[in-house]
Amino acid sequence: MARRKISTIQKVAWGYAILFLGVYALDYVPGTMDANGKMFGLYSMTPLVDAGHLVLGALALICALISQKAARLYFWMLGVVYGIDVVTYVFTHLHTISPMTNFLVNLPHTIIFISAFIIAAKVDKGVNSAVPQGA
């Protein structure tokens, strides 16, 4: 029986699935939310934000299972969506929160959108680096 090959970018997509589903799950862990509904006192977690993390985690999982091409598309789209999110948040909160808070609130999304573009552009490009599953 032939083994199904999993590329490096698919493995990274698995990691992002765990990341996003983990953030979604953290909302339901006692002690992570403060009295104002902010995770760790910094990040506003609304039902829409929760749904976003759940959908992004599920999409990462689905794309990791489908193919290398699907995983690459996921990372390009993630970079675009999170890039737009960061720019929008920074400019809509310029005069409502301090620059340091704005930076800290946007740091996770900034890291994610930059890394998503790097992953989409560089990982497994031009090389068939798929390894047999379980190797």
**What integer pLDDT is reported at residue 51 of this predicted model?**
93
Residue 34 CB-half CA count within 13 A: 8
**pLDDT (tens digit per residue) in 39-73:** 777 777 888 888 999 999 999 999 999 999 999 99
| 115 assigned to some structural domain | yes
Instruction: State residue 131's pLDDT score.
Output: 47
Which positions of the chain have pLDDT values less than 70?
Answer: 1-3, 126-135
Q: How far apart are CA 121 and CA 125, in angstroms?
A: 7
Q: Kindly give the residue spans of alpha helices, DSSP state H, lying in the chain.
A: 8-26, 47-66, 68-92, 99-122
26, part of any domain:
yes
3-state secondary structure 37-49: CEECCCEECCHHH
Query: Is there a domain that residue 106 lies in?
Result: yes
Question: What end-to-end distance do the CA atoms of the chain give, in Å?
Answer: 15
Domain count, the chain: 1
Residue 135 lies in a domain: no
The Cα 125–Cα 76 span in angstroms is 13
Question: What pLDDT does 10 receive?
Answer: 97
Judge whether 43 lies within some domain: yes
- Token pair belonging to 12: 């990274």
Domain ranges, residue 36: 5-124
Alpha-carbon gap, residue 21 to 26, rounded angstroms: 9
Q: What is the pLDDT of residue 38?
A: 78
**Could you tell me the pTM of the whole model?**
0.83
Return the pLDDT at 52.
93
Domain-embedded: residue 134: no
- Contact at 8 Å (CB) between 6 and 130? yes
| Residue 130 maps to a domain | no
